[in-house]
Structure 1
């Protein structure tokens, strides 16, 4: 009896999945259905607009070429001087923590 209930439940679940797909239109064999594209620009015009936007800075240029970091100059401040400056800033309120 237990197995019959489980089998009936599995059959109902399987049939509900099939029924859910019944309303879909798969006549052209493509899924998801393609939205109609309406554009008045040619591909060359779009590429030219993209390049112009990247050059004038209105759109970021995502060029993934590697740029080596600039070498930083060695500091002349000692660790003790940095600690003293930090403590002084904490005492006079010049250091904002947590914001």
Structure 2
């Protein structure tokens, strides 16, 4: 169950920068900030639950890895952020590191 908490925490970690991105638009300012704050709180709480059974270093690395890779992909797919082969390689390295932490 701890790994499910951790994966969910990582997915909510993607939500807060997304909320801040929406908050840059005048029509979505309050909704974006609210989304960011709620996602931060949920993400932090789920990380707290996951760390009951998963070592802190592993949990934190997986949590930030999911957040970083996921936010990069959301930016590329939905906001037209720049991408290149080297950036995708970097994301692949993050994912490989997360897998290595899970397996090891």
Please tell me the TM-score bracket, short chain as reference: under 0.3
Bigger relative contact order (CA 8 A; separation at least 6): 2
Whichever of the two has the greater Rg, that structure is 1
Instruction: With the length of structure 2 as denominator, give the TM-score of the two structures.
Output: 0.22
